[in-house]
Amino acid sequence: MTKHLINKVAIVTGAGSGIGRACALQLAEAGAAVVASDIDDAGGEATARQIRDHGGRALYVHADTAKVGDHEALVAATLKAFDGLHVAVNNAGISGPAAPVGEYPVEGWDHVIAINLSGVFYGMRAQLPAMARAGGSIVNMASILGQVGFRQAAAYVAAKHGILGLTQTAALEYGPQKIRINAVGPGFINTPLLDHGLTAEQRTALAGQHAMGRLGEASEVAELVTWLASDRASFVTGGYYAVDGGYLA
């Protein structure tokens, strides 16, 4: 991989596994110093250690994406360790309960919105001032379900739709400061999040809903994220980019 992110510093939330880990690893391979955050300390430490073991620069910081103060502390730790912030991947998320809207548990709604939507807002609120001096790129992890509905996933769908509006608004506001902000919409990806509660038959059925007839891989999402993070995407902002094997088609 071309080292097109040398001298860049990146934060990745939810970096302890899945898409977040894949993004952290590819950003590091492209030359960025990476601050991995998660509430899974073992997973987050393993991601950072894997980067360091391959000659990269990485730090793990425990951070709960649903807490404003944790985002502020995460950015502060990043600036202290690497003296800058140029890339942020707001990836942390959960699936939440499965229930129709009229029966959806209020506590489950609040929890999903707090992590999947408010967590992205809190992240950008802390990241944007730190990027103001040099510009940068923020990539918010939405979903194909930021474009369409999905039965029994009201909170997740609402949060991912909200990320798109938040991304577009911030892109308009911060474009003059040379900060680009985009959203990525993965299809159903082979990650621990997808494994939760799915039978083999359900996985097969989900795969069949994609034009390519398979589930995606976290590394395929990370390729798009890494491109958006780099100067190769210098005229790309306010966009939503699906990496979904044709699901939305």
Give the active site residues.
Answer: 156
What residues are paired with 153 via a beta bridge? 99
Largest Cα–Cα distance of the chain, in whole Å?
52
The Cα 77–Cα 67 span in angstroms is 16
Map tokens 């690893």 to a residue.
Answer: 25
Give the tokens for residue 134: 């040099």
Q: Does residue 214 contact residue 207 with C-beta atoms inside 8 Å? A: yes
The Cα 242–Cα 247 span in angstroms is 9
Neighbouring residues of 110: CB distance < 8 A, sequence distance ≥ 6:
none
CA distances in angstroms from 151 to 91, 116, 145, listed in the order given: 23, 18, 10
E strands present in the chain: 9-13, 33-38, 58-62, 87-90, 136-141, 179-186, 189-190, 216-217, 240-243
Give the tokens for residue 63: 């951070």
The Cα 180–Cα 143 span in angstroms is 19
